[in-house]
Structure 1
């Protein structure tokens, strides 16, 4: 029996190494993209006159999913590091309230504000945007500082901050939404389209998501983040400053929550102090379904971004089919249970 020898200098390939195409096809992000496509086609068939597949409805889907995509991106960093932030809904509310208060204070006279015609609209909107982001960042810093100082789980700290943040928002507003915000916010940002096609909030969500993907997969920041999630002790022995990294992660999450708060009031021209109660659970569900381990050490930014579209599709489809919008909470809970089941199955397969 003769044995074939490889000529000197020839390039050999390891057949056991999966190809790039195979890695893409078997990735969680690709699988989730297929689920999203199936859901779109399903609602397209079931909706009256195929209205779900209309250009206008796709625009609504992009707008509805943009905020959750942003929150899911920030949550991916935290969950990948073995942390949680249950207070992002309260952060979004508080950031939007502070921004709205700044806008109404700077924008003009009480009469102008009541009429929605602001004499200092541009300045007020800019300062409102900065106020929202700064509030979100400070909220994140407080979360990180409490976790570092108290040495307790971020689950407990952010659960407490969820209540505290919502309470502060109620105190600041007296329990009444701040409304009659400048129409320029909606026309130029909240409901505006880039090139008349894609909503600006959706473009921002995609851009921030791609930047986050690059940081997670190509930079040392991502390595340190996943190192924390794999083992805090091992990360510390490797020279990673755990406390500083935790602050960075919560600052990113807080800043994104502040941005989402500004997008929210830009779309609706009013705060929503009763809303955003399910934001944290929806973001965590999207993150876990997208391929990030609930116990840290593994994360997928792209998977989270795609999975974040699923709740928007389900809610939008149910509304078009005239199913009550109150089913949103039920849908969120079911998605979260599915996410936990998927994560447990992944963990069992990896052992």
Structure 2
């Protein structure tokens, strides 16, 4: 006799509400990761009080992390299901390339002066392009049964190759001026960058979807035990298809946001975005073994390497120390996750 689906849906929170608030807080990965972020901000503020804790610096920090944050929200869903997506960086590049070329074609080669009609068309095409790649990943993983690592490794190369073919290996450098002015560099209320606002909306929507809906409960259930979820009546195949399609959708949106900010597809600047998104998600407490993770943790995980990089640059620490520090934090996060799993399994 199999357990009812509703029991599986509630599994991630089982027994959680019975623990005192203090113990729940201290036992949460997010709490400790947040302390690391706060400590980094305090240290760099003390080391560079006139340069680091400034409004301009934090505005720039938020803008620079916006695109990666959108990618990482999708990656959170994937890793919670015990999957992986190595293709998001290449899909971002492909989506930006397709969106940029579409705007060039629709404006008769004068994309710099294009209006909002052309821009909206470029946005739709970019998102559709990313969604199609996500759908391909989902089909090959969920239906064909090919391991996620192999599938997304293949589509990573395929999407990047396709992007290079579209424009003969060159970046698209003609972007509507109004797109960069209003979205890439524009602000609301004179202080909040529009790019950041979009990233915040996407993050809040992802948090709502993961933590308050049936879709999110199914995601946790599949990551905890896919076979048990299947026996409980959850459509695992269809759900995984949706997860990877969602990730592709967000990669397509991120590609367009990057195009708006940089005024170019910046191919070489995004080749490691897949690894950065995975690292941020894992540093934020999402378990590579599946079934555990939060969007809030991912947000913190995105900002830890960003603060390290910004702080090291301000205090003039060489770049290679940044790589060492981020690597150390990532390894520590995975070690902490494994230690917690061993303690839980030994009870």
* TM-score (normalizing by structure 1): 0.88
Aligned to 2:313: 319
5+ residue gaps in structure 2? 1-16
Say whether the 8 Å CA contact 2:142–2:238 is kept in structure 1. Answer: no
Aligned to 2:95: 95
Aligned to 1:46: 47
For the aligned residues, what is the CA RMSD?
Answer: 2.0
Aligned to 2:222: 228
Where does 1:203-222 land on structure 2 (aligned, <5 Å)? 203-222=197-216
Say whether the 8 Å CA contact 1:289–1:343 is kept in structure 2. Answer: no
Aligned to 1:8: none
Q: Which has the larger radius of gyration?
A: 1
Distance change in 2, residues 1:331/1:276 (3 Å): farther
- 2:254 partner SS: helix
5+ residue gaps in structure 1? 1-15
**Distance in 2 (alpha carbons) for counterparts of 1:330 and 1:262:** 31
| Aligned mate of 2:182, from 181, 188, 191 | 188
| Aligned mate of 2:163, from 162, 169, 172 | 169
**Distance in 1 (alpha carbons) for counterparts of 2:323 and 2:149:** 21
**Distance in 2 (alpha carbons) for counterparts of 1:219 and 1:188:** 34
Where does 1:1-351 land on structure 2 (aligned, <5 Å)? 17-20=18-21, 22-47=23-48, 50-108=50-108, 110=109, 112-113=110-111, 116=112, 118=113, 120-323=114-317, 332-351=326-345
**Distance in 2 (alpha carbons) for counterparts of 1:165 and 1:289:** 27
Q: Which whole-Å deviations, capped at 9, do the CAs of 1:83-134 have from their partners, x for residues lacking one? A: 11011000111011001101111124x3x44xx3x1x321121111111111
**Distance in 1 (alpha carbons) for counterparts of 2:328 and 2:57:** 24
* TM-score (normalizing by structure 2): 0.89
- 1:292 partner SS: coil
Say whether the 8 Å CA contact 1:107–1:123 is kept in structure 2. Answer: no
Cα distance, 1:288 vs structure 2? 1.9
Aligned residues: 329
Cα distance, 1:69 vs structure 2? 1.7
